[in-house]
Amino acid sequence: GTPDYELVEAVLKFHPSAERKLAGMTGIKVDVSPYGDTHCFYVMRENGESEDISVVKCFNNMQQNPPYINEEDSEKKEAAPAEKSSVLVTLLYVLLCLTQALVWSHSCGDWGLSLSRQGAITTLQQMSRTPITGQLLVKGGMAAVVGAVLGIIISLVVNCTLVEISMSAFFALYFGLLFISVGCVILWRISTQAQMVSTPEETARKKQLQLFASLIVVSGFLCFILEKNWFVGMSPVLKIPLYSILGVSVSFALTFSVVDMINYLLGFLQVVVARPLVESTSQVYLVLFVALLMGGTFGFIFGVMDVEDEVQYQVRLALLREEHYCYPIGALLGAVGGFGNDCEFD
């Protein structure tokens, strides 16, 4: 089709790398290379040689209502949140984190009380020895579907949270303080319990809780480091581990908050005292393993695809492109966790 030269000119004028590569050129001609629903732009010199400046990478349906960004208001645009939807999802996550903080500050969490010297490998071995019956397949299939839905939701929330931490200084500060506060509360509760005489199993449990609490505190400081204006140009080798650690903490806190709330609601709504949805050590380790694997994978993909380096109006497209990879992973891990949890429950 006919190129939208006004749109292309706006994009080339705004992007810093485009300005550098356009310097010194004469007689620039801009064309469009269609690729399915994607339009990639490139610059052609007078001598007929084309140079792919990799400015906009790929814009899906970019010619519909194209945003024109001037240099004068680019700084104002940069300070705005990426998307209203991601802000709402992030606020929901903040609410869950606050609820989890209250739970941990009160009793150091029912999850922590279930941890012992049993490891994740032992848990998987126990699951492999569970006899498969028709009833287990039906109930496990339903649990797998619910787990897949929760995995997709966690994928969306983790990615939106990483975007807001990277793009918004307010959310970076807010999440940093939130993570540091929650981690310090957990460490304080563990230290008060450490003064009491404990068994070797309880000592091992407290060390595990201290490890995860320290991880949450470290993630709080990472929120300050990963604010967009501070890490522009940082090597992917450095950014990917940072985002992986942050993704693990977000997924860990979110998963435990959701399950704690489900256990609380089930206990509140049921008249007869019933078993919580996640209670045994095997269930705790299974959900813990899935949450850590899920968060680390999402953070790794987020850093590899450089979602945080996109300009303001490209973030939504980059986030959608990343979610195409994260949704199947979240659904698969959530289904495995749901099915395994139901096996251990029975």
pLDDT of residue 27: 41
For residue 227, is it within any domain?
yes
Give 105 or 193, the one with higher predicted confidence.
Answer: 193
Same domain, 290 and 324: yes
Asked whether residue 95 is domain-assigned, the answer is yes
* Chain centroid offset of residue 188 CA: 27
Write the pLDDT tens digit of every residue in 52-86.
444 333 343 343 334 433 444 444 444 344 445 55
CB 12 within 8 A of CB 41: yes
Measured in whole angstroms, how far is the alpha carbon of residue 29 from the centre of its chain? Answer: 40
Which secondary structure element, helix H or strand E, spans residue 186, and what is its range?
helix 169-194
Residue 31 domain-assigned (yes or no): yes
Question: 46 and 143: one domain?
Answer: no
> Which residues 6+ apart lie within 8 Å of 244 measured at CB?
295, 296, 299, 300, 303
Say whether both 57 and 110 belong to one domain. Answer: no
Task: Say whether both 50 and 142 belong to one domain.
Answer: no
Helix 120-128 with 281-304: angle, nearest 10 deg: 110
Residues 10 and 156 in one domain: no
**Same domain for 165 and 61:** no
Most confident of 18-22, 62-66, 102-106: 102-106
127 and 64 in a common domain: no
Q: Are 52 and 170 contained in the same domain?
A: no
Asked, for residue 93, whether it belongs to a domain, the answer is yes
* Number of domains composing the chain: 2
Contacts of residue 185, defined as CB under 8 A and 6 or more positions apart, other chains included, come to 101, 104, 105
Average pLDDT on 116-130 reads 52
Q: In the predicted model, what is the mean pLDDT of residues 266-272? A: 67
Show which of 68, 98, 114 is a domain's final residue: 68
Q: Are residues 20 and 101 in the same domain?
A: no
Instruction: State whether 24 and 102 are in the same domain.
Output: no
Q: Are strands 50-51 and 29-35 parallel, antiparallel or unpaired?
A: unpaired
Residue 340: closest CA among 115, 123, 150, 155: 123
**Residue 73 domain flag:** no
- Model confidence at 15: pLDDT above 80: no
Residues 131 and 276 in one domain: yes
Q: Which residue has the higher pLDDT, 236 or 290?
A: 290
In terms of domains, do 57 and 179 share one?
A: no
Task: Tell whether 74 is covered by a domain.
Answer: no
The confidence score (pLDDT) of residue 23 equals 43
The pLDDT of residue 108 is 46
Is a pLDDT exceeding 50 seen at residue 19?
Answer: no
The pLDDT tens digits for 205-264 are 677 778 877 888 888 888 877 665 555 556 667 778 888 888 888 887 777 777 777 777
* Domain endpoint, select from 15, 34, 68: 68
**What is the domain extent for residue 281?**
79-345
Q: Is residue 154 assigned to a domain?
A: yes
Domain boundary among 19, 49, 68: 68
User: Alpha carbon 240 to chain centroid distance?
Assistant: 13
